[in-house]
Amino acid sequence: MMSGESVEEDKDVDKLKRQIQKAELSQAIKYDWENRWLKGDEYYHILVHADLYIKSFKFAKYPPKVHPIETYTEPKSSITLTNRRDYVFC
């Protein structure tokens, strides 16, 4: 070996890498996001470990602000004022 490492050291490094990957994957909890809304702490966990979830569950990663700029500069509610009153009081 050119790096001066033995075959045993290479095996140890590979074993350690596999253990780390297994530990990382165990942090990627599969919440029941298909059947219910996530709780705040569950959503937070996914956001904190976003790269892990992207890798583990093949989640897509979208660039920031992909909506038309008006969505951010001039947001509009789909609920009218009269409907909003009825919605709040009913």
Beta strands in the chain (DSSP E): none
Torsion angle of the four alpha carbons 79, 83, 88, 90, in this order, in degrees rounded to the nearest 10: -140
Residue-level pLDDT at 10: 79
Q: Tokens 């790269």 identify what position? A: 51
Residue-level pLDDT at 60: 85
Q: What is the pLDDT of residues 29-86, one digit of tens each?
A: 889 999 999 999 899 988 888 888 998 888 888 787 777 888 878 887 766 556 666 6
Give the pLDDT band of residue 13 (cuts 50, 70, 90). confident
Residue-level pLDDT at 39: 92
